[in-house]
Amino acid sequence: MLRITTLATLLLLNFAIQASLLPHFSIMEVTPDTALVLIVSYAILRGEIEGGIFGFFAGLIQDALGGTVLGFYALLGFLLGYVCGKPFRDFFKDNYFLPFFVVLAACVVYQFVVYVTTVMFFAQADFWFYFRTILLPKTIYTASLSVPLYAFTYFVNSKLERLNDFV
Amino acid sequence: MVEYLEKHRRVFLLSGISICIIAIIFTISPNIGKNILSSGVSRIIAPVQRGINATAAWVGSHFSALTNNQRLITMNRELQAEVNRLEFENFRLSLAAEENAMLNAALNMHNRYAHLSTMGARVIGQDPSDRFRSFHIDRGANDGVQMSMAIIADGGLAGVVRYVNPTRAQFVSVLDSRFAAHVVSPRTEDVGTARGDTRLMSQGLLRMEHIEASAQIIPGDQILTSSSSSIFPAGLLVGEVVSVHTNPDGLTRYAIIKPAANVAELDVVLVVTEGFGEVGFRDTVDSEE
């Protein structure tokens, strides 16, 4: 129960910050996708089942806040959490290089899927333009935030594990 | 619970995917399911967001006051000059307004822009997406905001309400590629369609398309919403023409428009609570290129 409350607060806080504070810190007109980093970090720490559930709810909030279709980002988040959680069960969790590269790869794939499914239809931008102005800077910006955010998630998770509270 | 799911991973994966797909199918046709959840989430998130936004604005203003002293002095001087110029302009315009009122009375027309009833609202957040430009305001259905109402800022059209919750609303700005409005240049009476453009978005500009090749439109012309718009009240200022280009086919032209509203720095906006058409949030676009 404590875990659920903590994670829900974390998610709501993240989206509130992402929607109001991060636009003030945009570089080259892009803001970092902190929700993606949280999903990947949590999936690496807790495996594909909890990663999938966490990703699902993170995506659901993003849908509710301004996605075009409810369930779209939820599906993306669910798959992201599931896929990122699967291969890393037996890795050392206090290695900070792993999440950096996973976030880098996840962000590229995620942005590409979003491009193929939404931007191509609604925004009428060609891929090279999209790659240059959004995908590349956003990936670099997001990946650069992955280490501190992973450290934060790691800290929160280890606190929760020490309290021995299982869902 | 988790242990159980660990044993049935395939079931977990398939049920997760199918829940999402059902939700997508359910929300694509009617808008019911989305609004229930959407309003629930924003009830929780709106106060947090408002607080964070206020803090960010406060910190930002104090920080810039400390560091940009010299810039402020220069800016103050420039603004003083601007005020002088505007006072003169104001005087000139008041003469024009008198003349206009006289002519209007003569033509038995009424100035719709002056009679539009509006409501103030504060922008409390931007959509967490870089591909589109839409904003949240702290007024919702409870305050009388409705879908497809126009949003005005800095004396010009800033956007249009896309969807409404009980406590807040989201509007699509004029720079957003989902924005489209029928517009007219009152000087030459050339018509066209103003649309947000992803390429021009970061420069704060938008396009006016489908202008006839014989149009007399030139940079500096003002662009207003047209009376043929199914959504906007006629005569709202959209912006000023920056440049005019001919399409490669030579049959039509397009213009680049600088919107009157400064979309990058929206804070307080006005919601126009009348003269809107309840048919969506964008005018129809006849021919996509």
pLDDT in tens, B186-217: 888 889 999 998 888 888 899 998 898 888 89
Q: Do A125 and B198 lie within an 8 Å CB cutoff?
A: yes
B151's CB contacts (< 8 A; 6+ apart) are B137, B157, B158, B159, B160, B161, B171, B269, B270, B271, B272
- B49, B132, B178 ranked by CB distance to A20: nearest: B49
Task: Judge whether B201 and B242 are in contact, CB under 8 Å.
Answer: no
CATH of the domain at B143: 2.40.10.340
Check whether B53 has a pLDDT greater than 70: no
In degrees and rounded to multiples of 5, residue B245 shows phi and psi of: -130, 155
Q: Cβ contact (<8 Å) for B22 and A71?
A: yes
State the DSSP H helix or E strand holding residue B153, giving kind and residue range, or none if neither: strand B150-153
Instruction: Give the residue, B112 or B263, on which the prediction is more confident.
Output: B263
Instruction: Decide if B146 is inside a domain.
Output: yes
| Coil/strand/helix, residue A83 | helix
Confidence (pLDDT) at B186? 86
**Model confidence pLDDT, tens digit, residues A19-36:** 766 777 777 778 888 889
8-state DSSP, B197: -
Could you say which residues from 8 to 47 on chain B have a Cβ atom under 8 Å away from some Cβ of chain A?
9, 12-13, 16-17, 19-24, 26-28, 33-34, 37-38, 40-42, 44-45
pLDDT at B288 over 50: no
A84-112 residue pLDDT tens: 888 776 677 777 888 888 899 999 998 88
Nearest to B121 by CA among B85, B149, B82, B91: B149
Counted domains in chain B: 3
> What pLDDT is recorded for position B37?
56
User: Quick check: is B129 in a domain?
Assistant: yes
Q: Shortest CB distance from B49 goes to which of A19, A63, A123?
A: A19
Looking at per-residue pLDDT, the higher value among B241 and B52 belongs to B241
- Work out whether the CA dihedral A90, A94, A95, A100 comes out positive or negative: positive
Provide the domain limits for residue B91.
68-107
Per-domain residue ranges of chain A: 2-15+36-162
In sequence order, which residues have a C-beta less than 8 Å from that of residue B169 and are 6 or more positions away? Answer: B121, B136, B137, B139, B140, B141, B145, B161, B163, B271
Judge if B256 and B146 occupy the same domain: yes
Residue B163 in any domain: the answer is yes
Tell me which residue has tokens 């103003």: B194
Do B151 and B235 lie in one domain? The reply is: yes
Tell me whether residues B24 and A125 touch, CB distance under 8 A.
no
Per-residue model confidence (pLDDT) at position B281? 73
Is B35 inside any structural domain?
yes
What is the band of B182 on the pLDDT scale with cuts at 50, 70, 90? very high
What is the Rg, in whole angstroms, of the alpha carbon atoms belonging to chain A?
A: 16
pLDDT (average), residues A61-73 = 73
| B126 and B41 inside one domain | no
Residues B122 and B206 in one domain: yes
B134–chain A Cβ distance below 8 A for any pair: yes
Q: What pLDDT is attached to residue B111?
A: 44
Residue A159 has pLDDT above 50, yes or no: yes
Q: What's the rounded Cα separation, in Å, for the pair A3 and B230? A: 50
